[in-house]
Amino acid sequence: MTETRVLLIEDEPNIIDAIRFILSREGWRVDTSSDGGNALEAVRSRNPDLVILDVMLPNRSGYDILSDMRADEAMRDIPVMMLTARGQQKDKELAERLGVNKFMTKPFSNAEMLANARELVRR
């Protein structure tokens, strides 16, 4: 069985540590990128099974990154879970229009994060 690879694109160190801890306990490899400006290159080079993407990042928004991923044939089918501190309906609707697979608001529970990640990787 191959190792599940997750790319976490997030700039808050405490969130990075929490998600890395949750998913590493499952035996998953968690790579990180904290700059929206180089996020697409990180996705291309790591070819993850799942991308966990923050909405608000330095240099580029998660929405722009998601839009570019869905427009790129090599990345369009990678499941994306978006995280945001702003859980307003309009934010969720925009993410859904752009092709997000799962939209989660911060703070989230460990169980919720793990359940959603497992569901997306199984698809």
Residue 56, phi then psi, degrees to nearest 5: -100, 105
| pLDDT tens-place values along the chain, 123 residues long | 579 999 999 999 999 999 999 999 999 999 999 999 999 999 999 999 999 999 999 999 999 999 999 999 999 999 999 999 887 899 999 999 999 999 999 999 999 999 999 999 997
Q: What is the pLDDT at residue 120? A: 98
Domain residue extents for the chain: 5-122
pTM: 0.96
Q: What is the pLDDT at residue 93? A: 95
The kind and range of the H/E element at 69 are helix 62-71
Query: Tokens at residue 23, please?
Result: 């998913």
> How far apart are alpha carbons 73 and 89 in whole angstroms?
29
- β-partners of residue 102 are 81
> How far apart are alpha carbons 1 and 20 in whole angstroms?
21
Cβ count within 10 A of residue 82: 26
CATH class name, domain 5-122 = alpha beta
DSSP code for 118: H
